């Protein structure tokens, strides 16, 4: 095989590692179409002051991150480009280099002028959530000197983790770099920690104009948050007192729903889908809708042995509901990842669904496949009803109704 395109590509990668002009690299197009590992994403990070290469393995439904040295990262690319991945796209500060391996290996180099890659991890973490921010003081996460209060350590880590996840979803989405103002809604915003952290992140770190709304059914919390937002000069942030299901959500870019109780998560996701949000972040809370349905399932074999224990049945209800939500979001044209939000020792409610809208519409075959998998999962667990599914089905029926009416000939 003529591998000169491959060797020239690897040489360019190596020199961008050496002179620190490396911005990012994506390996894609798996040689085995059935491989669950779809992509490898590489970018520079600093960890405890040391420059490393973050390597994210993007599997069908999850990500795996490692932070090897650049030498190790290069060896990894060298070993896997060709046997495992057939395409690579390298961004450096001076050029874009695209490699396609196949019957004819192709290398395309385009000059570019690009800023150095933002270094993630430690440095960004501190920057992304600034411990000296006024909103953290007003919400009593930090004290007057800007130190995290002892009892608020877990909350602060949760805020950091949330901003990390939000930032990576944003930076991978089509919204990043578009320069257009952003709109975000946080449904079930509670005391507004995460709403304000998101607002602050976009305004201060990304320097994009952001308009954000928190929706909260408790008037005392909505009032408190509006007061703090005003004190902090967050002019385009407001909190509205309303149940999620009754809030008329305008078209927007990012929908957040963290720990909104039970099916309020479904109401929030549905609202986000309906208005075409590009990014949906949901950390589901109690799963009361599915739990009693599992008690009625006529399970046999291992599933019966699992469901006869209340605790396991509860966990199964959570997993089945969130797996169903993930499939329903995929059916609506989103790419979905399920990841841990906060460490399991703090709370069992630690799952985050991250959905980003795909550019290309779902093919009829993919939609039919997802419909079949949704039906299969429901039938396996004996789930008769799930709120997000019902809302989506009702919407589809409503959309079809005028079309059906139009085909009826007038008498």
Ligand X SMILES: C[S@@+](CC[C@H](N)C(=O)[O-])C[C@H]1O[C@@H](n2cnc3c(N)ncnc32)[C@H](O)[C@@H]1O
Q: Which of 261, 372, 375, 393 binds ligand X (CB under 6 A)?
A: 261
Q: How far is the CB of 56 from ligand X (least distance, A)?
A: 25
136 binds ligand X (CB under 6 A): no
Nearer to ligand X, 40 or 187 (CB): 187
Q: Which of 40, 77, 244, 277 binds ligand X (CB under 6 A)?
A: 244
Of 11-19, 44-52, 63-71, 259-267, which segment contacts ligand X by CB under 6 A?
259-267
Q: How far is the CB of 243 from ligand X (least distance, A)?
A: 4
Q: How far is the CB of 175 from ligand X (least distance, A)?
A: 21
Q: How far is the CB of 262 from ligand X (least distance, A)?
A: 8
Whether the CB-CB separation of 99 and 26 falls below 8 Å is answered with no
Q: How far is the CB of 138 from ligand X (least distance, A)?
A: 15
Q: What is the β-pairing status of strands 182-187 and 254-258?
A: parallel
Of 9-17, 100-108, 255-263, 334-342, which segment contacts ligand X by CB under 6 A?
255-263
Interface map 195-224 toward ligand X (x if CB under 6 A): --------------------xxxx--x---
Q: Which of 53, 88, 258, 273 binds ligand X (CB under 6 A)?
A: 258
Interactions with ligand X, residue window 162-191 (CB under 6 A) = 188-190
Q: How far is the CB of 258 from ligand X (least distance, A)?
A: 4
d(CA 8, CA 15): 11
Nearer to ligand X, 161 or 331 (CB): 161
161 binds ligand X (CB under 6 A): no
Closest residue to ligand X: CB criterion:
190
Nearer to ligand X, 193 or 270 (CB): 193
Interactions with ligand X, residue window 262-321 (CB under 6 A) = 264
Give the interface with ligand X as residue ranges (CB under 6 A): 188-190, 193-194, 215-218, 221, 243-244, 258-261, 264
């Amino acid at each position: 095989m003529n591998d000169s395109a491959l060797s020239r590509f690897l040489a360019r990668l190596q020199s961008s590692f050496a002179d620190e002009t490396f911005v990012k690299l994506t390996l894609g197009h798996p040689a085995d179409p059935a491989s669950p590992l779809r992509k490898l994403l590489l970018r520079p990070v600093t960890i405890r002051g040391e420059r490393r290469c973050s390597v994210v393995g993007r599997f069908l439904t999850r990500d795996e991150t490692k932070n090897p040295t650049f030498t190790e990262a290069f060896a990894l690319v060298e070993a896997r480009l060709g046997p495992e991945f057939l395409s690579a796209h390298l961004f450096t500060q001076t050029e874009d280099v695209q490699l396609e391996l196949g019957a004819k290996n192709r290398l395309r180099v385009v000059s570019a002028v690009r800023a150095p890659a933002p270094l993630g991890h430690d440095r960004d973490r501190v920057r992304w959530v600034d411990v000296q921010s006024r909103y953290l003081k007003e919400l009593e996460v930090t004290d007057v000197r800007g130190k995290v209060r002892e009892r608020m350590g877990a909350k602060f880590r949760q805020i950091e983790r949330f901003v990390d996840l939000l930032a990576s979803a944003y930076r991978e989405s089509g919204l990043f770099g578009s320069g257009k103002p952003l709109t975000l809604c946080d449904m079930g915003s509670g005391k507004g920690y995460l709403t304000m952290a998101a607002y602050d992140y976009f305004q201060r770190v990304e320097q994009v104009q952001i308009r954000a709304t928190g929706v909260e059914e408790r008037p005392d919390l909505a009032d408190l948050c509006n007061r703090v937002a005003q004190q902090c000069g967050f002019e385009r942030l407001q909190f509205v007192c309303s149940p999620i299901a009754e809030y008329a959500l305008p078209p927007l870019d990012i929908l957040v729903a963290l720990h909104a109780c039970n099916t309020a998560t479904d109401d929030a996701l549905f609202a986000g889908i309906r208005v075409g949000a590009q990014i949906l972040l949901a950390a589901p809370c109690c799963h009361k809708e599915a739990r009693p349905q599992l008690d009625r399932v006529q399970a046999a074999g291992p599933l019966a042995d699992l469901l006869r224990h209340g605790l396991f049945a509860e966990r199964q209800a959570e997993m089945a509901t969130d797996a169903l939500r993930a499939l329903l979001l995929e059916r609506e044209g989103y790419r979905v990842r399920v990841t841990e939000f906060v460490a399991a020792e703090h709370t069992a409610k630690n799952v985050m669904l991250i959905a980003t809208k795909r550019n290309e519409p779902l093919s009829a075959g993919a939609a039919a496949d997802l419909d079949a998998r949704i039906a299969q999962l429901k039938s396996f667990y004996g789930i008769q009803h799930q709120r997000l599914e019902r809302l989506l089905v009702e919407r589809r029926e409503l959309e079809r109704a005028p079309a059906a009416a139009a085909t009826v000939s007038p008498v």
